[in-house]
Structure 1
């Protein structure tokens, strides 16, 4: 599968709430590190992340990957991600943010997925209180800094 086809299948699976198809893009021992929910290891948990976690408080996902670059082992792609929130305080607002996907590839599949994202605009879109936004962003920053494997990506 080409890089472009893999990324399209990745986005389509999320948009179609197809955790099984999404998880098949990963190695058996693959890990997805989500910016909001943390790490999901193995295909079963990765599929559940899409089918359950993602859709617990959101619907109508749109995910697009842009400008992918890969050396066959590591794949980087800039992305835009949006959804309609089903949280009561969001009143059906649509949230959007941008980020960079960082994937380690093995045997044509994703072995490890990380992302660095600016999620603050999404929280503003959802009309979260500034104090809540500050707390979420601070937590994400601390978690990112605590991951040694991310240091090479943060430069």
Structure 2
């Protein structure tokens, strides 16, 4: 499967709540590192992430990947991602995120997915209190700092 086809299948599976098709894009030992929810290892956990986490408090997902670049082992793509929140305080608002997807590949499948996203504006869209946004962003910053590959950039 070529890069564009794989990325469209990735986005379509989330938009269509097709957790099985989404998980099949990963190797058996694949890991999805979500910017909010953490790591999901293995196809069963990755599939569960779609139903148990993504769709728990959201609906009407839209995900598009832009300007992909790959050497066959690593794939980078800018993305736009949005959903309609079902959280009471959001009052049905749509949250939109921009980010970069980073995927390690093996034999045409995703071994590891990471993302870097600008999350604070979306939380404002959802009408979260400033204190709640600050707490979420601080937690994400701490998780980023904990990643070994980030150490030299933070010194």
Superposition TM-score tier, normalisation by shorter sequence: over 0.9
Counterpart of 2:23 in structure 1 is 23
TM-score of the aligned structures, taking structure 1 as reference length: 0.96
Count of matched residue pairs = 154
SS of the residue corresponding to residue 127 of structure 2 reads coil
After TM superposition, the runs of 4+ consecutive aligned structure 1 residues lying more than 2 A away are 149-154
**TM-align CA RMSD:** 1.4
Q: What's the CA shift string for 1:92-130, capped at 9, x where partnerless?
A: 010001000000001110000000000111100001011
Aligned residue runs from structure 1 range 55-94, under 5 A: 55-94=55-94
Q: CA deviation at 1:39?
A: 0.3
Unaligned runs of 5+ in 1: none
In the alignment, is residue 116 of structure 1 matched against residue 113 of structure 2?
no
Distance 2:56 2:135 in 1: 21
Compared with structure 1, are the counterparts of its residues 35 and 131 closer, same or farther at alpha carbon in structure 2 (3 Å cutoff)?
A: same
Q: CA deviation at 1:149?
A: 3.6
TM-score of the aligned structures, taking structure 2 as reference length: 0.96
Distance 1:9 1:87 in 2: 28
Compared with structure 1, are the counterparts of its residues 104 and 10 closer, same or farther at alpha carbon in structure 2 (3 Å cutoff)?
A: same
Counterpart of 2:11 in structure 1 is 11
Distance 2:16 2:77 in 1: 21
Q: CA deviation at 1:145?
A: 1.4
